[in-house]
Amino acid sequence: MSTTETSPKTTAGVPTVPPTPSRVKDIVRQLVGTPRVIVGLSMIALLLLFAFIGPLLTGWDIGERDYLALKSPPSPEHWMGTNATGQDIFTQASAGLQKSLLIGLLVALMSTAIAALVGSFAGYFSGIPDRALMWIADLALVLPSFVVLAILSKHFGGDGGWFVLVILLAGFSWMVTSKMIRGMTISLREREYIHAARFMGVPSHKIILRHILPNMSSLLIADATIAVSTAIIGETSLSYFGLGVQAPDISLGVVIADGSRFATTAWWMFLFPTLLLVILVLAVNMIGDGLRDALDPQSKSRRS
Amino acid sequence: MGKFLVRRLLNYVVLIFLATSFAYLLAATNLYPRGYFEQMQPPPTPEAVNAQLDALNLNDQTPLAQRYVTWLTGVVQGDFGQTIQGRDVTDQVWLKAGVTLRLITVATILGSFLGIAIGAYAAVRQYRRFDKAATVASFVVLAIPTVVIALSVQIGATAINGALGFQLFLFSGEYSAGFRGEWWELLLNRLHHAILPTFVLAVALFAAFARYQRNMMLDVLGADFVRTAMAKGLTRRKALLKHALRTALIPTITYFTFTFGLMVAGATFTEKIYGWHGMGAWLIDSISQQDVHVVAAVSCFMAVTIMIASFLSDILYAWLDPRVRV
């Protein structure tokens, strides 16, 4: 954070200062000027279209089997071919994409929220709460998350079971961000406007929620974007061993795992879902990287 | 400095203990070893199953606390109990840990050095062709899960082998079964098998490091102290290597600790896909076999490796950043 930047609140009452430039307008201008973000956003838009309109376009249901076309290559009937049991890859991939997107978004939201709360409380209070919270973060970093997820994978089945997976994925991905937020909170804590709020008797939790966290919103948004792709990749890796989303739910990882066993004999089963996944993660990463450059004042210096 | 490291080390031991205990308790409550024996053919009598489970300290009718204490007494004496087939876990840990450590160590060194070198050079050449190529490459690799990289490399290797008509790349197992020869032939055979899995792991690590190091280096390049270094007459090369890169490495060292955990998980997938009998593959097999003690032992191993990485990065940090040393 640069020290010259002041929040609009502190300058609002002073008439001699020219009107503060709108931060939102500034950011939008910068985002439009970053081709990465635009390309990423349009790729995401196309993927969303594919995920939500795709299943309506084909005549096939997710689980439906076409016994006349087992393991058949792409054709007018099955646009991305079928798998060994005759299920339509296009339908499966689009449905899987839906769930993968949903998992990614939810995990990112949750883990960023946990990271923001833990990091800012630890940084603001210091002392024992800080030590305790950071120790928990350290412990969570040491716990092999893959082991925990794999052991608990039997709970991912059934109705809403995928939500358990979301909670666990989020529970293992907040630590690094929370440490970063803690560091920033410590430097923000000594700013004049925080002191002012404290001397006016604003309770600590309000200071954190209303003054400290909004000040880091740009960083939080950029980080949440990166968390989306991390979660999607994590889910895919788990699904490869059958430890991720369980049937009847389907995710992109499940489709890829199914296809990988036939990757050399029936390339379409592996190639199409994998391509979708790579494009999805690439798009999310491009947006996240562009956002970070546009929003993070620290990184601005390096772009000039 | 010494005191700082000792305090760190103590903290690590406590964390490893807690992580392993947690893994044991989780595995003991969620895995179902009874099912493993019940589905044997011919089905054993319930008494026989109970006797087996009691012998292995896996009986779910014994209170969890009692099982935990029995297990822990063993662990403190260096005995991680027995696998569900009744073999000694500790003996196998040493065998399998060796396999995994070989894979991880080489890939980590290779990947991080390449990543740091390429990332730092890309920063110096910002917006030139090299920078752009490096950025695109790391973005694409970061978008592909390790599992998919491992599979794709395997498919590619099969295709190349098929086209060449002989086995240029080997991708199954850690060495050829039944291979005999001089010690250097054995070594060569192992190296030959290690090429692809190491490459897979190193590539994933390389991308993350190149990206991170480039950003850190860019932050430092415009700093006053680099300009001062050049102003006082250092060559550009010397100023960049001794002042800019050294400072830019400090945050990367911290980053290394965090990525190492992901690396260990990535090794799990790579081992399984390439048929290496290391810790990761063992873990996946043991979960499907409801093998509680193996899960706990592998968790302990993973926690220890992560802690070693973090301890090493503490030392490196102190070496690079004089402020920590006082």
The pLDDT tens digits of the residues spanning A221-230 come to 888 988 999 8
* Chain A nearest-CA residue for B21: A143
Grade residue A124 by pLDDT with cuts at 50, 70 and 90.
very high
pLDDT given at position B72: 92
Pick B143's closest partner by Cβ from A144, A281, A298: A281
| Whether A147 and B31 lie within 8 Å, measured CB to CB | no
Question: Chain B contacts of A289, Cβ < 8 Å?
Answer: 139
**Residue A2 pLDDT > 70:** no
| Whether A237 and B23 lie within 8 Å, measured CB to CB | no
Question: Chain A contacts of B19, Cβ < 8 Å?
Answer: 139, 142-144
Pick B306's closest partner by Cβ from A142, A150, A298: A142
**Residue A272 pLDDT > 80:** yes
Residue A28 contacts B, CB cutoff 8 Å: no
* Chain A nearest-CA residue for B124: A302
Query: What would the mean pLDDT of A121-145 be, rounded to a whole number?
Result: 89
Token code pair at residue B275: 């048929």
| Whether B215 and A302 lie within 8 Å, measured CB to CB | yes
| Structure ipTM | 0.83
Query: What would the mean pLDDT of A279-295 be, rounded to a whole number?
Result: 86
- pLDDT per residue over A170-196, tens digit each? 999 898 889 889 988 988 888 899 999
| Whether A241 and B284 lie within 8 Å, measured CB to CB | yes
pLDDT given at position A6: 46
Q: How far is CA A11 from the centre of its chain?
A: 35
- pLDDT per residue over A61-81, tens digit each? 777 777 777 777 887 777 788
Task: Please name the residue ranges forming H helices in A192-266.
Answer: 192-199, 204-207, 213-215, 217-240, 252-260
pLDDT given at position A20: 64
Beta bridge partners of residue A82, listed in sequence order: A88
Q: Residue A152 in contact with residue A242, Cβ under 8 Å?
A: no
Domain residue limits, chain A: 43-56+81-303
**Residue A8 pLDDT > 70:** no
Q: Residue A142 in contact with residue A201, Cβ under 8 Å?
A: no
pLDDT given at position A156: 86
Q: For A43-56+81-303, CATH number?
A: 1.10.3720.10
Token code pair at residue A211: 């003054």
pLDDT given at position A45: 93
Of B300 and A265, which is predicted with more confidence?
B300
pLDDT given at position A277: 93
| Whether B261 and A154 lie within 8 Å, measured CB to CB | no
pLDDT given at position B201: 92
Residue A246 contacts B, CB cutoff 8 Å: no
Count of beta carbons in the 10 Å neighbourhood of residue A90: 23
Our CA-based measurement puts residue A202 at a distance from the nearest CA of chain B, in whole angstroms, of 35
Q: How many cross-chain Cβ pairs, A to B, lie less than 8 Å apart?
A: 110
Pick A144's closest partner by Cβ from B219, B221, B303: B303
Pick A142's closest partner by Cβ from B139, B146, B303: B303
Question: Chain A contacts of B268, Cβ < 8 Å?
Answer: 146
Our CA-based measurement puts residue B101 at a distance from the nearest CA of chain A, in whole angstroms, of 16
**Among the listed residues B158, B146, B153, B145, the one whose alpha carbon sits nearest the alpha carbon of residue B104:** B146
User: Rounded CA gap, B295 and A118, in Å?
Assistant: 30
Best of B18, B100, B138, B142 to disrupt the A interface by mutation (most A CBs within 10 Å)? B142
Q: Average pLDDT of chain A?
A: 83
Grade residue A299 by pLDDT with cuts at 50, 70 and 90.
low
| Whether A148 and B23 lie within 8 Å, measured CB to CB | yes
Q: Residue A184 in contact with residue A214, Cβ under 8 Å?
A: no
| Whether A141 and B298 lie within 8 Å, measured CB to CB | no
Our CA-based measurement puts residue A118 at a distance from the nearest CA of chain B, in whole angstroms, of 18
Our CA-based measurement puts residue A138 at a distance from the nearest CA of chain B, in whole angstroms, of 8
Grade residue A5 by pLDDT with cuts at 50, 70 and 90.
very low
| Whether A240 and B298 lie within 8 Å, measured CB to CB | no
Residue A260 contacts B, CB cutoff 8 Å: yes
Pick B26's closest partner by Cβ from A151, A281, A302: A151
- pLDDT per residue over A156-167, tens digit each? 877 778 899 999
Number of residues that make up chain A:
304
| Whether B155 and A264 lie within 8 Å, measured CB to CB | yes
Contacts of the segment A137-140: beta carbons below 8 A, 24+ positions apart: A137/A174, A137/A175, A137/A178, A137/A179, A138/A175, A138/B11, A138/B15, A139/B15, A139/B18, A139/B19, A140/A171, A140/A172, A140/A174, A140/A175
Domain residue limits, chain B: 98-288
pLDDT given at position B141: 92
User: Rounded CA gap, A184 and A172, in Å?
Assistant: 21
Pick A285's closest partner by Cβ from B15, B27, B143: B143
Domain B98-288 class in CATH: mainly alpha
| Whether B268 and A298 lie within 8 Å, measured CB to CB | no
Q: Residue A251 in contact with residue A237, Cβ under 8 Å?
A: no
pTM attached to this predicted model: 0.85
pLDDT given at position A142: 84
**Residue A7 pLDDT > 50:** no
Beta bridge partners of residue B82, listed in sequence order: B88
User: Rounded CA gap, A102 and A162, in Å?
Assistant: 10
| Whether B151 and A139 lie within 8 Å, measured CB to CB | no
| Whether A150 and B283 lie within 8 Å, measured CB to CB | yes
* Chain B nearest-CA residue for A145: B265
CB contact residues (below 8 A), chain A span 185-244, against chain B: 229, 233, 236-237, 240-241, 243
Best of A37, A103, A143 to disrupt the B interface by mutation (most B CBs within 10 Å)? A143
pLDDT in tens, chain B (326 residues): 678 778 888 989 999 999 999 999 999 998 888 888 888 878 888 888 888 888 888 888 888 999 999 999 988 888 888 888 888 888 889 889 988 998 998 999 999 999 999 999 999 988 899 999 999 999 999 899 888 899 889 888 988 998 888 888 888 777 777 777 778 888 888 888 889 999 999 998 899 899 889 988 988 888 888 889 889 988 888 888 888 998 888 888 878 877 777 788 788 889 988 988 889 899 988 988 889 999 999 999 999 988 888 888 888 888 887 776 65
pLDDT given at position B325: 62
3-class secondary structure, A297: helix
| Whether A278 and B148 lie within 8 Å, measured CB to CB | yes
Token code pair at residue A239: 């699904």
